[in-house]
Structure 1
Amino acid sequence: MDEVVDYYDQLAPTYDDTRFGHTWGQFLDRQEREVLAQWLPDEPGVDRLDLACGTGRTLDLATAGVDASAAMVGRARHRHPDTPIECARADALPYAPESFDAVFSLHFFMHLDPSYIRRVLAECHRVLRPGGLLAFDAPSDLRRRFNDYQPEGWHCATALHPLEVRRLASPLFELVDFRGVMFAPVHRLPETARRVWRPADSAVAQSRLGRWACSHFMFLLQRREP
């Protein structure tokens, strides 16, 4: 985990531009937000934690944020001065039990090995209230097998299948939904064509058949009670 934190400490000054300052990142951001908007409770008084919040890209959807990279947290605090943001590891969250109604995390679980994922899931279960929701993403194991993609090192090394997520989450969580993200490389089309095809790509990605062929999955878990 230390090497992950060191990597993002160094990347923090350029993260927003290099990851989300271009058409691919912007397209991905919009699709992820569409799914989270359907999943996350947004009633008044609902507490939502952005886990591994980075520089704060999605902190507008949360009431609190946490990240293990001090450099990322510094930029997030500057970007969202009114949102409480802590610097802590995901397996040792600085919150009391049952503090949140929902936890969401993007572009984080893909860097973790299964044993660490289990530790993070246990900690999320601790800070969630009964019936609380956990949403996160990961590259599609199916798509990677089709493309014969071989990651190098820890970066984006973990791809998941819904059945694997169900196994990792048991018995703490139940997998209640999953969606596809980025079915086709629409971000590579000219701007005028993207405007036409982006809604179609989102529709296909979230359909029952299309989601299995997307490059990423988004998973929704619900806290199980003892």
Structure 2
Amino acid sequence: MKTGILDYYNNLAKTYDENRFGNSYGQYIDRQEKNFLMSFFKDKKYSKVLDLGCGTGRLLDFATHGADFSEEMLDMARKKHSGKILLKGKISKIPFADEFNCIFCFHVIMHQNIKETEAFLNECYSKLNKKGTLIFDYPTKRRQKVVSPQEDWHASNCFTPKEISEISEKRWKIENTTGILLFPIHRIPKSLRKFFLPLDILLCKTFLKNWASYHIAILEKR
């Protein structure tokens, strides 16, 4: 993880929730991701779930443990989730000796190249129990636009489903994928965005997910 990204998140920690998810665009993504997690976990009885790259704790309600590389972000998470076990660590060096039933990692792989993503997959493999599940999202190349140089460090890494399959196939079985953010919601009036959400969630479960901005991959440890 590049130093500039760590500085960015450390500096943004106190206002991150408001700046990133306090507007209608961020809320749209937040609700779509939480809908996915609620659906996934509803029939699971996992005793240990890790939110890897937990940030300020937006998704910690779905986890027992959390880890993040930013101490400033973790401080915010601790204030909101005093009952969770939270430690500082990287996605390529998870700071827990525990074996988890499930690890999920959102809005992190966008910062990783393929080599770094492979290191992430290997580390998660070592921290999951037998038949453990890994969930992560990544920007799709089909929807990724050309970014300006000053944005190049942030969320510029994207992948095709084939690339994810190729780097994971030896140790993982891809159980399923779903899409996030099919509609170009930033071009839709703010007052109307919430009406597109149910349809977006539905269509992202069909073949149209191939045109979504992000994919969520569900991998099972072989």
Does TM, normalized by the shorter one, top 0.5? yes
Partner in structure 1 of residue 66 of structure 2: 65
CA contact (8 A) 1:151 1:157 kept: no
Partner in structure 1 of residue 199 of structure 2: 200
The root-mean-square deviation of aligned C-alpha atoms, in Å, is 1.8
> In the TM superposition, what whole-angstrom CA distance separates every residue of 1:148-186 from its partner, at most 9, and x where no partner exists?
423643210111111111112131212221111111134
Cα deviation, residue 96, structure 1: 2.0
Counterpart mapping for 1:45-194 below 5 A: 45-96=46-97, 99-144=99-144, 148-150=145-147, 152=149, 153-186=152-185, 188-191=188-191, 193-194=192-193
Partner in structure 1 of residue 219 of structure 2: 221
SS of residue in 2 equivalent to 1:141 = coil
- Which runs of 5 or more residues in structure 1 are unaligned? none
**Is residue 8 from structure 1 mapped to residue 21 from structure 2 by the alignment?**
no
Distance 1:11 1:171, change over 3 A: same
| Aligned residue type for 1:38 | S
CA contact (8 A) 1:186 1:198 kept: no
CA contact (8 A) 2:24 2:190 kept: no
| Aligned residue type for 1:210 | L
How far, CA to CA, are the matches of 1:80 and 1:22 in structure 2?
A: 22
- Which runs of 5 or more residues in structure 2 are unaligned? none
SS of residue in 1 equivalent to 2:143 = helix
How far, CA to CA, are the matches of 2:89 and 2:55 in structure 1?
A: 12
- How many residue pairs get aligned? The number is 218
CA contact (8 A) 1:181 1:206 kept: no
How far, CA to CA, are the matches of 1:81 and 1:90 in structure 2?
A: 22
Distance 1:221 1:37, change over 3 A: same
> In the TM superposition, what whole-angstrom CA distance separates every residue of 1:70-103 from its partner, at most 9, and x where no partner exists?
1011110111011010011111112226x11000
SS of residue in 2 equivalent to 1:160 = coil
| Aligned residue type for 2:26 | G
Distance 1:196 1:90, change over 3 A: closer
| Aligned residue type for 2:39 | Q
Cα deviation, residue 197, structure 1: 2.6
| Identity %, equivalent residues | 32
How far, CA to CA, are the matches of 2:148 and 2:128 in structure 1?
A: 32
How far, CA to CA, are the matches of 2:14 and 2:194 in structure 1?
A: 30
- TM-score when normalising by structure 2: 0.91
